[in-house]
Amino acid sequence: MNIKKLIAVLAVFALILAACDAGGGGDEETTPTTAATDDGGTDDGGGTDDGGGDTGAQTGGSVLDEVIARGTLNCGVNETLPGFGSKDEAGVFVGFDIDLCRAVAAAVLGDSEAVSYSALTAAQRFEALASGSIDMLSRNTTWTQSRDGELALTFAPTTYYDGQQVMARAADGFDSGSTLSDLEGAVVCTNAGTTTEKNITEATQAVGASITLTTFEDFNIVLQNFKDGACDAVTTDGSGLISRKSTDEPAAGDWVIFPAVPISKEPLGPGTAQGDALWSDAVRWTVFALIIAEEQGINSANVDDMLANPPNGEVERLLGAGDEKQSAMGLPADAFYNVISQVGNYGEIYDRHLTPLGLERGLNALWSDGGLIFAPPAR
Ligand SMILES: N[C@@H](CCC(=O)N[C@@H](CS)C(=O)NCC(=O)O)C(=O)O
């Protein structure tokens, strides 16, 4: 373990103690630490470095080297969120966030199956990253300032733009037009260690509604309490509510999601431990490659044709031919060919896991279709 990782681990333990003292288990209300060992501002998702061997932050080797030497990517994921991260009947991890782990393994190792998954609750996820027990986190995690700073993460580009909503029972008089004011006197439940806890407290206070907020570590327990009637409402990312409504609602129409306009911004995406620019660039550019592939119309079915007859220079470079840019990042030249052929492009991943839940592209459409999904050029 290099010195930066050690500092980060100690800082996270201090944060966990502080959170326990506060009795909330949340990560947002902790005190600043000196853990930040950033690489100079490349974690803005905007790609301010040139990808040309930005190894200045490395002192004891990059996680990129560790993953290559190990031959397996350790990825921290969710197992309770169908569509994003869960296990299928055969016990295999599947979902949108799972495919992001698979894409990074394909880019770095040439094998999307070379992933060892760790199922983590929200409260466990940041310690797992700081301790080095996982190489990357891909678990419906919101990019926030305190997670960048106090918790020393580096976020990859946002892969799903979300917002927090509330779900309650139609039988209690709630409908899709309900507002936060209608929660007056309600017991509202969510899981600990999330952005959700603070958002709902601030948002209900702002409209003068008095609620009782109850948190549990595991979202399964949150839902069980909701089903048992101990919670009048549950709140989390809108996508999480839609996911669990699709699997847990007793009968169609029993549960309603409101308010119509989400109460927060929840940009979700993968994260890595701060201070390892080479590794965070590898994860970042894997996400960008998924997006550029969709922009360019490259998918898992036509990628061989695209490589044989690239329609333009960007496709040629992205797939590892011509003046490719992957080698200068410590990746194989064909890293993104492997990603697209084995996992597909961003739109394929979205359609495979999220479209079946009824989640429309909306904000998560490509920028060229009026959405927010954008990547810098592969040049
Ligand atoms: N995006 C929010 C919330 C993430 C979160 O943990 N959401 C819940 C509800 S969708 C969840 O994934 N629960 C699964 C679990 O607790 O295992 C954050 O990063 O704090």
**Average pLDDT score, the chain:** 87
Q: Which amino acid is at 4?
A: K
Which tens digits make up the pLDDT trace of 341-354?
A: 999 999 999 999 99
Are residue 365 and residue 379 in the same domain, yes or no?
A: yes
Extended strands (E) in 218-325: 233-237, 255-258, 266-268, 271-273
What's residue 375's pLDDT?
Answer: 98
Are residue 136 and residue 271 in the same domain, yes or no?
A: yes
Are residue 285 and residue 366 in the same domain, yes or no?
A: yes
Ligand 1 contact, 121 CB (< 6 A): yes
- The whole-angstrom separation of Cα 255 and Cα 275 is 44
Are residue 129 and residue 156 in the same domain, yes or no?
A: yes
Ligand 1 contact, 240 CB (< 6 A): yes
Tell me what the mean pLDDT of segment 168-185 comes to: 98
Task: Examine the fold and report which residue of 214, 231, 264 is the final residue of a domain before the chain moves on.
Answer: 264
Ligand 1 contact, 122 CB (< 6 A): yes
Ligand 1 contact, 267 CB (< 6 A): no
**Residues with Cβ within 8 Å of residue 229, at least 6 apart in sequence:** none
Residue 15 maps to a domain: no
What's residue 60's pLDDT?
Answer: 53
* Count of domains forming the chain: 2
- Chain CA centroid to CA 227, Å: 27
Between the CA of 373 and the centroid of ligand 1 the distance, in Å, is 22
Of 41-45, 132-136, 262-266, the range with the lowest mean pLDDT is 41-45
Task: Examine the fold and report which residue of 211, 244, 264 is the final residue of a domain before the chain moves on.
Answer: 264
Are residue 142 and residue 275 in the same domain, yes or no?
A: yes
What's residue 164's pLDDT?
Answer: 98
Measured from the Cα of 191, ligand 1's closest atom is 16
Ligand 1 pocket test: which of 121, 159, 196 has the largest number of ligand atoms within 8 Å of its C-beta? 196
**Residues with Cβ within 8 Å of residue 273, at least 6 apart in sequence:** 5, 8, 63, 129, 130, 132, 152, 153, 154
Are residue 283 and residue 250 in the same domain, yes or no?
A: no
Are residue 107 and residue 138 in the same domain, yes or no?
A: yes
Report the 3 state secondary structure along 110-131: CCCCCEEEEECCCCCHHHHHHH
Between the CA of 191 and the centroid of ligand 1 the distance, in Å, is 7
Helix (H) or strand (E) holding 8: helix 3-22
- The whole-angstrom separation of Cα 323 and Cα 303 is 18
pLDDT band at 36 (very low <50, low <70, confident <90, very high): very low
3-state secondary structure of 191: strand
Are residue 99 and residue 193 in the same domain, yes or no?
A: no
Task: Decide if pLDDT at 40 tops 50.
Answer: no
Entry field: residues in the chain: 379
Helix 277-296 and helix 346-353, axial crossing angle in degrees, nearest 10: 80
Of 12-16, 350-354, 371-375, the range with the lowest mean pLDDT is 12-16
Residue with tokens 């990312």: 237
Q: Which of 152, 153, 155 is nearest to 34 (CA)?
A: 152
Task: Decide if pLDDT at 3 tops 80.
Answer: no
Ligand 1 contact, 239 CB (< 6 A): no
What's residue 44's pLDDT?
Answer: 34
Q: Which amino acid is at 143?
A: W
What's residue 217's pLDDT?
Answer: 87
Residue 26 maps to a domain: no
Are residue 98 and residue 190 in the same domain, yes or no?
A: no
Task: Examine the fold and report which residue of 264, 286, 312 is the final residue of a domain before the chain moves on.
Answer: 264
**Residues with Cβ within 8 Å of residue 119, at least 6 apart in sequence:** 77, 78, 79, 85
Residue range(s) defining the domain that contains residue 198: 164-264
208 DSSP assignment: T
Residue 307 maps to a domain: yes
Ligand 1 contact, 142 CB (< 6 A): yes
Between the CA of 101 and the centroid of ligand 1 the distance, in Å, is 18
Task: Decide if pLDDT at 249 tops 50.
Answer: yes
Are residue 113 and residue 47 in the same domain, yes or no?
A: yes
Q: Residue 200: which CATH number?
A: 3.40.190.10
Residue 27 maps to a domain: no
Task: Decide if pLDDT at 11 tops 60.
Answer: no
Residue 192 maps to a domain: yes
The dihedral sign for the CA sequence 43, 47, 50, 51: positive
Which tens digits make up the pLDDT trace of 280-323?
A: 999 999 999 999 999 999 999 999 999 999 999 999 999 999 99
Q: Kindly report the pTM of this predicted structure.
A: 0.85
Residue 225 maps to a domain: yes
Are residue 257 and residue 279 in the same domain, yes or no?
A: no
Are residue 260 and residue 190 in the same domain, yes or no?
A: yes
Residue 151 maps to a domain: yes
Residue 14 maps to a domain: no
Q: Which of 21, 55, 16, 17 is nearest to 39 (CA)?
A: 55
Which tens digits make up the pLDDT trace of 50-76?
A: 333 333 334 359 999 999 999 999 999
Ligand 1 contact, 236 CB (< 6 A): yes
What's residue 201's pLDDT?
Answer: 95
Q: How many CB atoms lie within 10 A of CB 49?
A: 18
